[in-house]
Structure 1
Amino acid sequence: MERSKFSEAQIAFVLKQAEDGTTIGEVCRKAGISDATFYAWRKKYAGLTPSEMRR
């Protein structure tokens, strides 16, 4: 399985930006990810801190 080029902290930062009111399209463009990737991350990591993501 291929390792992600984004760390847990980076994923948490992207998700936090969207929660704070930035549009999802803008967040994805800045991070260089697709909308599908964002929604997959949100489904998998919603509400978790970076330390909890590692478990």
Structure 2
Amino acid sequence: MRALIRPDWAGDSTMKRTRHTAEQIIRKLKTAEQLIAQGKTVADVCRVIEVTQPTYHRWRQQYGGMQAEEAKRLTQLEKENARLKKLLAEAELEKAMLKDLAEGNF
């Protein structure tokens, strides 16, 4: 019988996947800024705040310099924008169907 040897990167991740709220992200970014100011490297900071380096850089790009209230408002606006886009798509579809019915192409 052959034993399968799995590489280190094959699904045995040591970091748990979680979704962070905007407030949690901002809190972690502030902690990271403090640690970097103390002379820690980005790799060390990422270990402390328990995220990967790409996640840290993406968060800095998206939430850098924001306050918690601004992040809440951003999340609300994104949800509202998604809802409005859905409503617009439904209205456009309905308009196209009515146009086809009016032309007799059914």
> Same fold, TM exceeding 0.5?
yes
Superposition CA RMSD, Å? 1.7
Tell which structure's C-alpha radius of gyration is larger. 2
Could you tell me which runs of 5 or more consecutive residues in structure 1 were left unpaired when the two chains were aligned.
Answer: none
**Is residue 11 of structure 1 aligned with residue 25 of structure 2?**
yes
What is the percentage of aligned positions where both structures have the same residue?
A: 31
Aligned length: 52
Q: Distance in 2 between matches of 1:11 and 1:23?
A: 19
Relative to the length of structure 2, the TM-score reads 0.43
Shift >3 Å, 4+ stretches: none
Q: Which residue of 2 aligns with 1:38?
A: 56
Relative to the length of structure 1, the TM-score reads 0.73
Higher relative contact order (CA 8 A, sep 6+): 1
